Structure 1
């Protein structure tokens, strides 16, 4: 039996994803009194709570945490918040926004009908809306090399979203695949725990944490880099595929020098 038109609820705007991006959009829509709903597959900010390792810190200074109506208000603007501090900051943002959210809802399909209206199929029924905001993030699906399937079952494997601390791993040498932010910081975490680590590097570039007394992020901010749109960037759409420079905010912030680790 098909779904009747009268049973489909129409909402002006549907936001997919209840992270900081989705809640920021909700904040601005509420300012304009625009009706909307946020669909979150798990719970608000769940990835920050469940998919970050114990020693995780921001890699950008605290002052750059400037969500709408909720700037960083701590006493260490040049520092780097730890995981639990980040969760607290984001939870206080959610408490301020009070978004109209439905947690535990999966959005299965979005299509445009003949009237130009979006049909949104979810795990709790069908909806229609005039606008859809996809705020599910760019890194929500773990990327696992296909070669992993060919490795023997006796070889312990885990993805970075599962990693918490060195004690999770059995004794022996650890191979970390990927040298982006996660790979480099997890390799450092294992190295500091006196584990022997082999890091399979990619094309992520190294960067100095500070230059002439200023953090690299402050230099980029003053240069106006964060105001450059994709259309204005020399690489255009290709910039989306670029890997971020690896650096860490651990222990007050420092650069990660892979050549030093290799010694």
Structure 2
């Protein structure tokens, strides 16, 4: 699928990133007859293939995999694709659409050229573009707290991006820091393998998996949650910075109740506060974090209950939620050496790295400012980010709508530019 091993001097559109967002954008550009190139630093499917653990699977069901004109058509629409199946799905989409991709090329800079075009500097050289679509995602730099540097060398540290399986870790107990989707799923992976696990619980919310006879995402889809746009969200732009609900697609999919894992021997703590040598301190917020996650869980159930009542749907009734475990007190201290902990897995997320974009489109936190992916800087766009427009924007479910919208904007702007050029005095005189 590599279109070339060198760059042309100019492209109407340069797409940076060959994941699902970049490939979806390329698909619509091809349909619109707009010449372009897709620049991929590694190879198609890299993040799914090389930055996920062995038992990784989607947390959303397969029917939500809806790349443009390429919906999931396998035998298990209500199942959850494993890592290798996700890679195969993405590669099959690329084989069908045959995007003009150049793999193995890194983009080192995007800036405004003197003639007004965008200058794209890469490991293959430099080209100019009328439009640049950034489809690199926001997971560039793994976050590790500064206090991690005080840990003794005897403690193995790795980020979730480098975790593969329990056998990879040295013998001993494991502290997983972070209770977002990666943290709780890695915790479960270790727990099921018989490892003794400690989990630092943050503020991530949780969701039911199956409720009142149906998978919760089916109910939420009917309720219109996935069509809710960020400009109508109660939190507005802040929704883009909220942690996703945790659950899992493992073994057919199930919800994750950290209280049940506590009953099974997983030790829970609150948010990590600091580290001094082998002494780890936590904020006294475990009870609050568990309660708030459960409140979100119960709110989702209540929304579904209300929808069932309004629509008069015949659905089985489930008993009210009950807390199966409650901490006696919020633990605030942990001695790694005394507990036999030999490994810490950091699962507290990533931050985007857009330092290579030398254009004034970022806020004080380094996040791009845009409206549905369209920035105020002429010719620069973003796609594939969470809540770019809707809840599904950063997923296989909603990326096609966002890519189609951006290509529509680009097409209109290219047409306007061509009309303006044709109407210049020099052209008219000719």
TM-score, normalisation: structure 2: 0.58
Q: Map Cα deviations across residues 193-248 of structure 1 (whole Å, 9 max, x no partner).
A: 11111111111112111111121211221111211222121111100110001000
Q: Deviations over 1:147-180 (max 9, x none)?
A: 2222111110111111111000111110001111
Structure 2 residue 118 is matched with structure 1 residue 118 = yes
User: How is 1:221-232 mapped onto 2 (pairs within 5 angstroms)?
Assistant: 221-232=221-232
Detail structure 1 runs of 4+ shifted over 4 Å in the superposition: none
Q: Distance in 2 between matches of 1:77 and 1:189?
A: 24
Partner of 1:3: none
Residue 186 of structure 1 corresponds to 186
1:141: how far off? 2.1
Deviation at 1:140, TM superposition (A): 2.9
What is the root-mean-square deviation of aligned Cα atoms in Å? 1.3
| Matching residue of 2:220 | 220
**Structure-1 separation of matches of 2:228 and 2:70:** 23
Give the Cα–Cα distance (whole angstroms) in 1 for the partners of residues 14 and 141 of structure 2.
21
Shift of 1:129: 0.6
Say yes or no: does 1:96 pair with 2:96.
yes
2:25 counterpart of 1:45:
no
Alpha-carbon distance in structure 2 between the residues aligned to 1:49 and 1:117: 35
- Greater mean deviation of Cα atoms: 227-236 or 158-167: 227-236
- Uncovered stretches (5+) of structure 1, i.e. residues with no partner: 1-6
Aligned to 2:322: none
1:245 is aligned to: 245
CA–CA distance in 1 between the matches of 2:13 and 2:150?
45
1:18-75 Cα offsets, whole Å, 9 max, x none, are 1010000000000011000011111111111111111111100000001001100111
Q: Distance in 2 between matches of 1:235 and 1:23?
A: 30
Q: 1:115 to 1:220 in 2, by over 3 A?
A: farther
- Unmatched tracts of structure 2, length 5 or more: 1-6, 264-430
Task: Report which of the two structures shows the higher radius of gyration computed on alpha carbons.
Answer: 2
Question: Which residue does 1:158 correspond to in 2?
Answer: 158
Cα offset, 1:8, TM superposition: 7.2
Deviations 1:88-142 (A, max 9, x none): 1111011111111111111111112344311111111111111111100111321
CA distance in 2, matches of 1:201, 1:53: 21
Query: 2:94, 2:8 → 1: CA distance?
Result: 28
**Cα distance in 1, alignment partners of residues 169 and 235 from structure 2:** 39
User: Corresponding residue for 2:302?
Assistant: none
| Aligned equivalent of 1:13 | 13
Q: Distance in 2 between matches of 1:180 and 1:32?
A: 39
* Alignment correspondent of 1:197: 197
